[in-house]
Structure 1
Amino acid sequence: MTEPGSLRSRLGDVRRVVNRRRFALGRTARLEDDGLHLVRSPVFLLSSVRSGSTLLRSMLDTHTQIVAPHELHLGTMRVSSAKQYAVDSWEALGLSLDELQNVLWDRALHLALVRGGGRIVVDKTPQNVEIWQRIHAFWPHARYLHLRRHPGSVYESLVHARPDQPTAAHVANVARYGGWLDAARAALPGPTVRYEDLTADPATTLRAVCAYLGVRYQTRMLTYRRSGNRGGLGDWSENIHSGRVQQARPLPALADVPAELRDLTTAWGY
């Protein structure tokens, strides 16, 4: 027989989940009246690959008011029509295919937000930094977290994770992301978060992130929720699966960083 106290506790949990979802639905419905947006102010975690974005995402997703799903890869979603007259009909309504695609992105974020029961949604797909201009044009009220990691460490991590690829390809990849990140940093608001600071003093770093997002810091973020281990969902190494922040590897000396990445390294203050 179920204890009355246990039953009351379960009912309380259910009510809290329902109330969070109602809040998310009501809030997003009120924010925009242009018919295009259900999520007015999503948060985008901008980073390169192998920069600790899965760690930060996992910690944010553990917060009771933040939904930070796996990488959504919004930029890979496409809207098309098999018939030109359908395209003509949409355009007659003032909707281009690009705009319909943007709406699809918005609905994907809204679905993640409602199902997660939070009030802030974060997408951390690294490839978003390549399309930051389109994201910002569609979501002028979006917020951004700019994640940085020592370029030499990113390079070393790529070499370790993908030893079958030429080292020149890894160097080019880090440099390409660096250029996109610098352009986004110059144009978009939001704090710069260093991976090294996140791993050395996660509580202080997360407090600053939470303050920017307008939520209270929760200590539960330090023992974050773990889920996923498939490609395309982020880095699921043994360190990530531990559920606790692991100390970062020592930074490489500047002389050990590929020559093509040294200017970027010093520009980022390493």
Structure 2
Amino acid sequence: MNKTTSIKDTQSVPALHDTSPFFIVGVQRSGTTMLRLMLNQHPHLAIPFESGFIAEFYRKIDRYGDLHDTGNRNRLLSDIAGDDWVVRGKLIDDVTTIAKYPASDYAEIVAAIFQDYARRKGKPRWGDKTPGYVDEIDTLWKVFPGCKFIHLVRDGRDVALSLRRIAWGTSSIPRMAHEWRWKTLLAHKMGNLLGDHFLEVRYEDLVLDTEATLRTICAFLGESYDARMLDYHVKGVKADELPSDSIRWHRMSVRAPDPKKVFEWKTAMSEADQIIFEEIAGDALSAFGYECRGRTPTLKSRLRKLHYMLIRRW
């Protein structure tokens, strides 16, 4: 689509592409935004900002009745278009254009929304990057049987450090350790069930061996490798790549991969916090090949863990 073409032009809407997309999932602060920006430099791939609505609307889809009915479809589209995440990410430009796609069930309607986004970007294939879907893999599989998942995993101790630095993050190491452990292991178990439809990638490999890791991801997606993905940071982030209120939390994501952010916990996390995290999530750390030091809990670490457990109980 050339630059002067408007999505609102009265042109014919192309038939839907395959409704089996790919989803990038992972615990927040695991590098999913950086991976998305990399893949968006591929000439075939269009991945919008976090969607967040797919699982939510799937759970309440019965409210909309028979989606063969035009009125019901339009009501669903209107509600999705008003979703906060959809608005923030500018996923939908014009509902009337999406309504022209031959969609008569929920999966086809969702696919139409993303396919229209990809069309505006001049790309033939769409994907999604929503960290919150890391515990919704089973739901996404129900909507799109045959889809693919890229599960990005980062050492949970570095995830915890990153979360501490943002306004909406938490400072509780026990809480972060429990959440990281639960979500990463849950996704991993789902991956064992999905087989070839699931790829697990470590953030550390993406940063330290970027090209090889991207080649693996492209092979998994059935796409040829494109070196432009390595230059995702050169021209800066386009205005529609990230919402303005999100850029401040993704300063590192829009820069070249920084090896200093790998295993930062070894120097930036206190001994007590390291012990607490490993005590709670050591099995998950080991499962993903991360170092566990097996140190004896200190009085400080025991008291902090006890304090957290008492708060959770109440």
The counterpart of 2:178, out of the listed 162, 172, 181, is 172
The counterpart of 1:203, out of the listed 193, 203, 211, is 211
The counterpart of 2:261, out of the listed 246, 249, 267, is 249
Deviation by residue 1:177-228 (Cα, 9 ceiling, x = unmatched): 2233223222222322111011111111111111222222111111116232
Q: Which letter does structure 1 place at the counterpart of 2:47?
A: A
The Cα of 1:128 is off from its aligned counterpart by 1.3
In structure 2, what is the equivalent of residue 25 of structure 1? 14
The Cα of 1:49 is off from its aligned counterpart by 0.7
In structure 1, what is the equivalent of residue 294 of structure 2? none
The Cα of 1:133 is off from its aligned counterpart by 1.0
The Cα of 1:58 is off from its aligned counterpart by 0.3
In structure 1, what is the equivalent of residue 32 of structure 2? 53
Q: Which runs of 5+ in 2 are unaligned?
A: 77-103, 291-314
Local SS of the residue matching 1:128: helix
- Looking at structure 1, the residues matched to 285 and 129 of structure 2 have their Cα atoms a distance apart, in angstroms, of 22
Say whether 1:261 aligns with 2:289: no
Contact 1:71 1:234 in 2 (8 A): no
Local SS of the residue matching 1:140: coil
The counterpart of 1:125, out of the listed 127, 130, 135, is 130
Say whether 1:181 aligns with 2:219: no
Distance verdict in 2 for CA 1:250–1:60, change over 3 Å: closer
- Looking at structure 2, the residues matched to 235 and 123 of structure 1 have their Cα atoms a distance apart, in angstroms, of 21
- Looking at structure 2, the residues matched to 220 and 170 of structure 1 have their Cα atoms a distance apart, in angstroms, of 35
The counterpart of 1:224, out of the listed 217, 232, 248, is 232
Local SS of the residue matching 2:24: strand
Contact 2:34 2:253 in 1 (8 A): yes
In structure 2, what is the equivalent of residue 33 of structure 1? none
Distance verdict in 2 for CA 1:91–1:54, change over 3 Å: closer
- Looking at structure 2, the residues matched to 182 and 69 of structure 1 have their Cα atoms a distance apart, in angstroms, of 24
Contact 1:206 1:217 in 2 (8 A): yes
Q: Where in structure 2 are the equivalents of 1:13-92 lying within 5 Å?
A: 14=2, 25-26=14-15, 28=17, 39-75=18-54, 77-78=56-57, 87=65, 90=66
Q: Which runs of 5+ in 1 are unaligned?
A: 1-12, 29-38
The Cα of 1:120 is off from its aligned counterpart by 2.0
Distance verdict in 2 for CA 1:200–1:91, change over 3 Å: closer
- Looking at structure 2, the residues matched to 190 and 223 of structure 1 have their Cα atoms a distance apart, in angstroms, of 26
The Cα of 1:130 is off from its aligned counterpart by 1.8
- Looking at structure 1, the residues matched to 130 and 200 of structure 2 have their Cα atoms a distance apart, in angstroms, of 17
Q: Which letter does structure 2 place at the counterpart of 1:246?
A: D
Distance verdict in 2 for CA 1:117–1:200, change over 3 Å: same
Distance verdict in 2 for CA 1:162–1:267, change over 3 Å: farther
For normalisation by structure 2, the TM-score amounts to 0.63
Distance verdict in 2 for CA 1:92–1:113, change over 3 Å: closer
Between the two proteins, what is the percent identity of the paired residues? Answer: 23
Distance verdict in 2 for CA 1:52–1:91, change over 3 Å: closer
Contact 1:75 1:128 in 2 (8 A): no
The counterpart of 1:146, out of the listed 151, 169, 172, is 151
Distance verdict in 2 for CA 1:177–1:203, change over 3 Å: same
Local SS of the residue matching 1:136: helix
Q: Which letter does structure 1 place at the counterpart of 2:177?
A: V
Local SS of the residue matching 1:25: coil
- Looking at structure 2, the residues matched to 267 and 206 of structure 1 have their Cα atoms a distance apart, in angstroms, of 22
Q: Give the CA RMSD over aligned residues.
A: 3.6
- Looking at structure 1, the residues matched to 141 and 55 of structure 2 have their Cα atoms a distance apart, in angstroms, of 17
- Looking at structure 2, the residues matched to 42 and 138 of structure 1 have their Cα atoms a distance apart, in angstroms, of 11
Local SS of the residue matching 2:163: helix
Local SS of the residue matching 1:239: coil
- Looking at structure 1, the residues matched to 35 and 169 of structure 2 have their Cα atoms a distance apart, in angstroms, of 27
In structure 2, what is the equivalent of residue 192 of structure 1? 200
